[in-house]
Amino acid sequence: MGKMITIHSYKGGTGKSQLSVNLATVYALRDKKVALLDLDFRAPTLHEVFKPKNLKCFMNNILDGRSSIDECLVDCSSKIGKENKLYVGFADFSTEAIKEMVSRGRKWEIEALKRLLNSRKKLLNEMEFDYIIADTSPGIAYLSINAAVAADLVILVTTLDESDISGTIKMIEELYDIFETKTLIAINKAIGKRDVLNKIKEMYGEKIIEVLPCSCEIVEMSRSSILVLEKPDHPITKIIERIAEKIS
């Protein structure tokens, strides 16, 4: 039976999308069947990586109950030199869609959670996906919380910025401990700040899955390139492979 892994963070720009794409690629390269879902409806990203053409529908339509997940997934396996392994569900990146998604009411949110859970069931039970990897919006956005509730495992990506660390701790204590969803922490763009790193290690040592260093080579790379594919020997590629193994 497959599993759903949601990648979330307190602050923006911590490296969620980067980790989601690379983790999905690592599994797909190992012949696992992966559904990578863009559930960041505020700032969709995955279309910039995979550059899909003629999209029939988006994840937005699934949460609206207007489409089903099997119709909306796009086979992007050729991007990584594979066949039938890496499928992507894109979020609608039009301004109208983004505005619409952030102004939904509570009733819709509850329906959207049911639809997400149904999609999860369909992907894992009927379509035999090995992994669902969900990229989300930062912070306590209800759609990200839905993605966390639906997941078997959440990876919270944080930098060593003090406000990022304290927000991440607050989210764990006030949200994740209550859901009882298994939660791990990936520290990304780590550079210096030994005191901050030691503090979080003392508090959550067992939850920290890996510490990924800051890398200017990553900053330099274009959005459409995938680190683990283009730089298989890069130290961060090795760390992402280790994360993939630990949570497999």
Ligand X SMILES: Nc1ncnc2c1ncn2[C@@H]1O[C@H](COP(=O)(O)OP(=O)(O)OP(=O)(O)O)[C@@H](O)[C@H]1O
Within 107-166, the residues that bind Mg ion by CB under 5 A are none
- Residue pair 123/68 in contact (Cβ under 8 Å)? The answer is no
Tell me: does residue 229 bind ligand X (CB under 6 A). Answer: no
Both tokens of 17, joined, read: 């999308």
Which of 117, 211, 214, 247: binder of ligand X (CB under 6 A)? 214
Which residues lie closer than 8 Å to 109 by C-beta, 6 or more apart? 142, 143, 146
Is residue 45 near Mg ion by the rule CB under 5 A?
A: yes
- Residue indicated by tokens 């609206």: 64
Q: Is 17 in the site for Mg ion (CB under 5 A)?
A: yes
Q: How far is CA 82 from CA 30, 219, 229, in A?
A: 10, 26, 12
14 binds ligand X (CB under 6 A): yes
Asked if residue 189 binds ligand X (CB under 6 A), the reply is: yes
| Phi and psi based region of residue 120 (left: phi greater than 0; alpha: psi -120 to 50; beta: remaining) | alpha
Q: Are strands 208-213 and 182-190 parallel, antiparallel or unpaired?
A: parallel
Q: Taking the C-alpha atoms of 71, 77, 78 and 83 in order, what is their torsion angle to the nearest 10 degrees?
A: -100
Per rule CB under 5 A, is residue 188 in the interface with Mg ion?
no
**Minimum distance of ligand X from residue 41's CB (angstroms):** 11
Stretch of 8-16, 94-102, 159-167, 187-195 lying at the interface with Mg ion (CB under 5 A): 8-16
| Among 133, 132, 153, 167, residue whose Cα is nearest residue 13 | 167
What are the backbone angles phi and psi of residue 38, rounded to the nearest 5°? Answer: -90, 100
Q: Do residues 89 and 62 lie in contact, with contact meaning Cβ atoms separated by under 8 Å?
A: yes
Q: Which is nearer to ligand X, 119 or 137 (CB)?
A: 137
Give the residue with the Cβ less far from ligand X, 16 or 85.
16
Could you say whether residue 212 binds ligand X (CB under 6 A)? yes
Q: Does 139 bind ligand X (CB under 6 A)?
A: no
Closest to ligand X by CB, 43 or 153? 43
Asked whether position 16 contacts ligand X by CB under 6 A, the answer is: yes
Q: Which is nearer to Mg ion, 11 or 207 (CB)?
A: 11
User: Which residue in 9, 25, 158, 237 binds ligand X (CB under 6 A)?
Assistant: 9
Residues that bind Mg ion (CB under 5 A): 16-17, 45
Residues that bind ligand X (CB under 6 A): 9, 12-18, 40, 43, 45, 138, 188-189, 212, 214-215, 218-219, 236
